[in-house]
Amino acid sequence: MAEKKPIIGVSADIGVEEASNFPGHRQTFVYEDYVKAVEAAGGVPIVLPVTRDEEIIKQHAEEIDGLLLSGGVDINPLEYGEEPLENQGAIFPERDEFEIALVKAVIELEKPVFAICRGIQIMNIAYGGTLYQDLEYAPEHTLKHQQGSGRPGDESHTVFVEKGSWLHGIFGEEVRTNSFHHQAIKDVAAGFKVTAKSKDGIIEGIEKEGDCSIVGVQWHPERMADERDDMLRLFKHLVKEAS
């Protein structure tokens, strides 16, 4: 019998039904790119629905082999000690609480985490970091990070990768990525290091110090992984570390 594949938990988003038989009905969902990327990387994806139940979160953490923190809406600034500024977008505070508790529980159990877009921001906040609520508030910000191309796999800007980092082993010194964000990390959490930035100095990648199984990126590799082997390798790494 073939060896069992690692189970990768994908944190779910909350949707609200608009046009259907059940307007206003809430949904648990993830975009298919995330689960397809995990499958292509050799893992078994399972969706972890938002909950505030600590026992359920603990059991999720115990039963998965690795965690993929998915993208989504803005994070409640109260989570990192700030009042909301005018340009902050839509928030789902219960998802923030769920994912902060989940990522901490998973890291506590020394299991790997790959965090994408909102995910890198959640992981940073969970360990005491902060965000720019909108890139307009980042003094260094000059580039367009909400890309003009609607085709999600298109390259939008260049990311420069720190020598000696784990991401450098995948991409080398620079890589072109897509970009779909209006927030970004401001202060990086203690215990994490910045390993990738865009040309205007916006943080695009972090890794846990001394532990390359905990990685986050600000772009959306899951939307590029079907055509780009380097992007797929990010997911293969998560699956390998989860084995």
**Residues of the shown chain interacting with Mn ion in the complex, contacts defined by CB under 5 A:** 145, 179
Residue from 60, 222, 237, 241 carrying the catalytic annotation:
222
- Is 33:222 a contact under the CB 8 Å cutoff? yes
Whole-number minimum distance, CB 220 to Mn ion, in Å?
10
Spatial distance between the Cα atoms of 81 and 191, rounded to a whole number of angstroms:
19
231 vs 239, which CB is nearer to Mn ion?
231
**CB-count exposure of residue 195 (10 Å: 0-12, 13-18, 19+):** buried
Q: Which of 3, 1, 69, 71 is nearest to 42 (CA)?
A: 3
Q: Using the 8-state DSSP alphabet, how is residue 74 labeled?
A: B
Whole-number minimum distance, CB 26 to Mn ion, in Å?
30
65 vs 204, which CB is nearer to Mn ion?
204
Spatial distance between the Cα atoms of 91 and 146, rounded to a whole number of angstroms:
18
Whole-number minimum distance, CB 135 to Mn ion, in Å?
9
35 vs 159, which CB is nearer to Mn ion?
159
CB-based closest residue to Mn ion? 179
Whole-number minimum distance, CB 71 to Mn ion, in Å?
12
Told to judge if 117 belongs to the known catalytic residues of this protein, a careful annotator would answer: yes
Spatial distance between the Cα atoms of 215 and 210, rounded to a whole number of angstroms:
11
Whole-number minimum distance, CB 204 to Mn ion, in Å?
6
- Is 197:177 a contact under the CB 8 Å cutoff? no
Q: Using the 8-state DSSP alphabet, how is residue 19 labeled?
A: S
**CB-count exposure of residue 159 (10 Å: 0-12, 13-18, 19+):** buried
Told to judge if 222 belongs to the known catalytic residues of this protein, a careful annotator would answer: yes
107 vs 184, which CB is nearer to Mn ion?
184
Told to judge if 141 belongs to the known catalytic residues of this protein, a careful annotator would answer: no
Spatial distance between the Cα atoms of 48 and 10, rounded to a whole number of angstroms:
6
Residue from 60, 145, 181, 220 carrying the catalytic annotation:
220
Residue from 117, 145, 237, 241 carrying the catalytic annotation:
117
133 vs 179, which CB is nearer to Mn ion?
179
Which residues belong to the active site?
A: 117, 220, 222
